[in-house]
Structure 1
Amino acid sequence: MGNTLVKTQLNDVKDFLTKSISILENFLNETTIAQLNVETEEDRAYVKLILANMRKLVVYSEEGLEACSVLLQSEPFQKAAAEKTLYKIYHQCIEEFFSPKNDAWFENSRSAYTGRNSIKFYRNVSEQISNLIKSLESDFQRIREELEYYETDYRTKMIQSK
């Protein structure tokens, strides 16, 4: 891919991460477990798991945002480093959103084909959490589709270099 295309994607991802971080931080800073009307101890533990995953997603996104900012300011533009960064963002942010390692929720891939939201929770969650994830999902899906190229391209390069 040409430098211009990679740089454009880096800018797009930077804007996406900035917006996602803002939305997640606002939710995390303004919402308490008590406000989410948690009824049972199991539900409370599950909500804590969801919130922990959201905090992890913010940290990964902030790291990706910082890397994007540094690369976009560097002269000359470092295409290889930018591609590696986009690959890392794909794995740490996008994949973590759709399939968190702590199993806070899961992706129902069949839902994506029907135009419905594909993120499903293992238990009933508050409307605030559900609405938050729904509001983020379309942007995460869009960036996922844009960055899937780096997933296959980077792996191909790694295999060829061996």
Structure 2
Amino acid sequence: MTAETQAAPVVSYGRLVPVVVHFDDLDALGLLHNARYPVMVERAWTALWHERGFGFDGDWEAAGDFCNAVKELRIGYEAPVNRPGAYAVHLWLERLGNTGLTYGFRFCSADGAMTYAHGTRVLVRLDAATLRPTPWSEPFRAVGRELLRRAS
């Protein structure tokens, strides 16, 4: 069974998306290379949005909500990943604005118990013709509201 076909464990907010670390993701010391964490997070987000009916096929005019740009990325590393295998990325939205959003993430063990890295990323939705900020679509916002982390 691959990470893509395993059922994700339940988390109290957001989603836990399975990812796989391959041998060639490791650096010369045998650790997951620091630049691979954001790539894994991006792949997890892409899988989550595709699962919800959103995607990008290379046509920016038709990309809709996928026509966006990163404004900020923050990541902190807590523990090294030192072997290939099944892991997960815990994803949620911290803020869903009119034209921007902030999502949170944790790169963690497959069951979500151990956190290796965590961070936030700010995205701005862009109009494909002008590259100026434009509002998220209502279908996108509806899915986004489901992923919002609620204050406890």
Asked if these proteins are the same fold (TM beyond 0.5), I'd say no
Higher helix share: 1
**More strand as a share of residues:** 2
Structure with the greater alpha carbon radius of gyration: 1
